[in-house]
Amino acid sequence: MNPNLLPYTSLPAERIGIHPPVELPAAIRLGTVHLAVASLDRSLSFYEGVLGFQRLRRTPAADGQPATAELGVAGRPDDVLVALYEQPDARPVPQRGRLGIYHFALLLPTRADLGRFLRHAQALGVHVGSSDHRYSEATYLTDPDGFTVEVYRDRPRAEWWVSAKGEIQAALDPLDAVGVLQAAGTTAWQGLPAGTTMGHLHFYTGDLAQAAAFYHEALGFDVMTWSLPGALFVAAGGYHHHLGLNVWAAGSPAATAADARLLRWELWWPDAATRDAAAGRLQAAGYPVEPTAAGPLVTDPWGIRLLLRAEPSA
């Protein structure tokens, strides 16, 4: 460990990360990730059988609308983590070949949960990548359309490290798979456990300065990690990252209507006033904002669409 690093909890919140003029509330949360896929049946086999999602609803195609499926965790029928929209013949996602989504990440409550998932995936013979990011332990899988899915657990913040400048320290170390599997004990995997959330998203963008202008300066995320080659990690509330923004596929085309792709993602505010203020900042900065019944829909420079949601008032 670098002797110049400090425990995360040794710095006050205002010294961790680079803060924009107007910050997002600490209580924001990621909502539903909406994906266009080539085959709903094929995707459901993976999302339910491998990842352990609970199917909340399935709607057949009708009146020009695609067949859809909403997925979440058992016991939470209104909390949709992923929505799938069938688009037959949608082209698969090439590796680092298209601007848009790189991966979405499911955050499990405990290390034991991650161990049970890893043991389950290995028993199915599914290829699982892995890494220790210092603040988290992560596994990676690829779905039938080529989307990468991360399944991970966080270490407690008391175990995170920062530089003297307040940059959260990330790593790409080997995962202690033996320790993770041992943490699972003898309990079997029974699907995504209660408490699973959408932990973060990671995007391929075309330019980091433009990405920072949209997500940091206009939207209001703090920049938490800025020394990784070709990437920025941004978050609210002192988290290690709600979004990863990279240029590892810069020069590639953006996803089109012919592709399996991210249709939109959701960000939830604690109230409508702060949400609408963020929409106003984005519009004032020159980004397209479309009013919808669910909230403002804004588009970043690479066609990634973000739906701004507000929690119901008490």
Mean pLDDT in residue range 60-68: 94
Task: Check whether 67 has a pLDDT greater than 70.
Answer: yes
Task: Check whether 11 has a pLDDT greater than 60.
Answer: yes
Domain architecture of the chain: domains with CATH: 6-310 (3.10.180.10)
CB 40 within 8 A of CB 64: no
Q: How much is the pLDDT for 95? A: 84
Q: Residue 175: what residue type? A: L
Q: How much is the pLDDT for 96? A: 79
pLDDT in tens, 38-47: 999 999 999 9
pLDDT category at 314 given cuts 50, 70, 90 is: low
Q: How much is the pLDDT for 254? A: 93
Higher pLDDT, 77 or 112: 112
Mean confidence (pLDDT) of the chain: 96
Q: Which two tokens stand for residue 28?
A: 């924001």
Q: Which two tokens stand for residue 113?
A: 């949960």
Mean pLDDT in residue range 221-242: 97
Mean pLDDT in residue range 59-68: 94
Q: How much is the pLDDT for 1? A: 54
What order of strands is seen across the sheet that includes strand 231-235? 129-132, 136-142, 148-154, 100-108, 197-204, 243-246, 231-235, 222-225
CB 246 within 8 A of CB 238: no
Radius of gyration of the chain (CA): 19
pLDDT in tens, 122-168: 999 999 999 999 999 999 999 999 999 999 999 999 999 999 999 99
Task: Check whether 178 has a pLDDT greater than 70.
Answer: yes
Q: Which residues pair with 308 in a beta bridge?
A: 267
Q: Which residues pair with 290 in a beta bridge?
A: 297
Q: How much is the pLDDT for 24? A: 97
